[in-house]
Structure 1
Amino acid sequence: MILDIYKDALEYSAKDWKTLVILGVMCFFSLLLLPIFLVTGYNYRVIENAVHGIINGRDPLPGFEDLIDMFVDGIKVVIVQIAYLLVPCIVFIVCVILGSQLPGFAASAMIVIGCLITFVLVVVACLMSQMGLCHMAYNEGAFSKAFAIGEIKEVIDDIGWFECIATYLGLIIITVVISTVVTSIIYAIFAVFGISGALLGADVMGGIFALGILINTAISMFIVGPYLSIFNARSIGLLYTMQI
């Protein structure tokens, strides 16, 4: 079932390249801060489609109408994500403070233990926040449902904690692999151009290297990044539908 989710999400994310470019433009202007909420709001719409859909269905990509509603949804998403990450952050800070009060080896041990605990809590918090967003989307956008811990835990229990964590970690691995492969291919192409130019006696290595960085950045921002964000949102939404 997990592989079916990945397959569906990979295909779904590539349905409309114009959507990816529009999202990429939003990501570019997110340096101004406000457009980032449109990006997170769009991803929330992808989740909405997924939690009310089925694996390997014919769900279309969401549109960009009602930008104000999308912006508000994006703010909600960011608030939910920050709220769930507060606990791991607090635990890490407490461990660092306690470690600073201890001598030598004990201080190092406390910080290492704190890092391990924080890592586990971050994984759980990220999973809870994503499933919380799915729960909110499933319940017609009711903001309080994103923090209905008992209900969200029941959803995860029904799906299975192992399946949820395995799916989430798989998303991270797939995201890293796709990003790395695309970047490597682009740099390899420009490396070949640069070496060919050098063999022909042209002093173009610097220019080709700079052009490679520029093109790689553009493709990552306007194509790969949006594609992966939709892929992750769709996958989490479909995971939510796996409740018994």
Structure 2
Amino acid sequence: MILDIYKDSLEYSAKDWKTLVILGVICLFTLLLLPAFLITGYNYRVINTAVHGVINGRDPLPDFEDLISMFVDGVKVVIVQILYLLLPIIIFFVFAVVAGQANGVAASAIMIIGCIMTFVAFVVAELMIQMGICHMAYNDGAFSKAFAISEIKEVIDEIGWFECIATLLGLIVITLVIFSVVSIIIGIIFTVFGISTAVLGINPSAIFILGGIINSLITMFLVGPYLSIFNSRSIGLLYTMQI
């Protein structure tokens, strides 16, 4: 089932390259912060489509319309993320403070325990974030549903904690692999060009600089948006496994 989710999401994300370019253009202005909420809001729409759809269905990519609503959705998602991540952050700082009051081996032991507990809390928080956002989308965008802990836990129990964590880890691996493969391919192409120009007695610096620029552009305008849709779609479909 997890492989079916990945297959569906990989195909779904490539349905409309124009959408990827639009998201890439918005990424150019993310340093202004406000556009970042639009990207998050669009990914939320992808999740919303997925939680109301089926694996290997004919769901279309969301349209870029009603930008105010998209922006608001993005803000809601970011708030959900921040609030859930507060727990592992607090746990880490509590242990850091306690370790700071101890000495030698005791301080090291406390920090090791703190790091382990922080990691566990982070994994749980990340899972609650993803399923909480899906639960909010499934319940018509009701913000309170993102924090309906008992309901979200029931969803995760129904899907299976192992399946949920395995899916998230798989998304991380796939994301890193795609980024790496694209960068390596572009790197090899421009390395060959660079070596060829060097053999001809031409300074290859410009070729390598051009390769870096093209790699950045492809990552921003195509690969990055593609993977953000892929991840959002996968999470949304994972949620449907309990319905």
TM-score interval w.r.t. the shorter chain? over 0.9
User: What count of residue pairs does the alignment treat as equivalent?
Assistant: 243
- Aligned residue runs from structure 1 range 91-240, under 5 A: 91-204=91-204, 206-240=205-239
- Cα distance in 1, alignment partners of residues 242 and 32 from structure 2: 39
What whole-Å deviation, never above 9, does each CA across 1:168-222 have from its counterpart, x for those lacking one?
Answer: 1111111111111111111111111111111111112x21121111111111111
Note the residue ranges of structure 2 that are not aligned, 5 or more in a row.
Answer: none
- Cα distance in 2, alignment partners of residues 13 and 153 from structure 1: 28
Farther-moved stretch of structure 1 (206-215 vs 86-95):
206-215
- Cα distance in 2, alignment partners of residues 80 and 63 from structure 1: 24
What whole-Å deviation, never above 9, does each CA across 1:131-153 have from its counterpart, x for those lacking one?
Answer: 00000000000000000000000
- Cα distance in 1, alignment partners of residues 44 and 4 from structure 2: 21
CA RMSD of aligned residues (A): 0.9
Counterpart residue type for residue 125 of structure 2: A
Counterpart residue number, 2:88: 88
SS in structure 2 opposite 1:64? Answer: coil
- Cα distance in 1, alignment partners of residues 105 and 155 from structure 2: 42
Counterpart residue number, 2:70: 70
SS in structure 2 opposite 1:153? Answer: helix
Counterpart residue type for residue 138 of structure 2: Y
Return the TM-score normalized by structure 2: 0.98
Poorly superposed stretches of 4+, deviation over 2 Å: none
- Cα distance in 2, alignment partners of residues 85 and 203 from structure 1: 49
What whole-Å deviation, never above 9, does each CA across 1:96-132 have from its counterpart, x for those lacking one?
Answer: 1111111112222222222222112111111101100
Counterpart residue type for residue 143 of structure 2: F
Counterpart residue number, 2:13: 13
Matched-pair identity in %? 74
Return the TM-score normalized by structure 1: 0.98
- Cα distance in 2, alignment partners of residues 25 and 108 from structure 1: 46
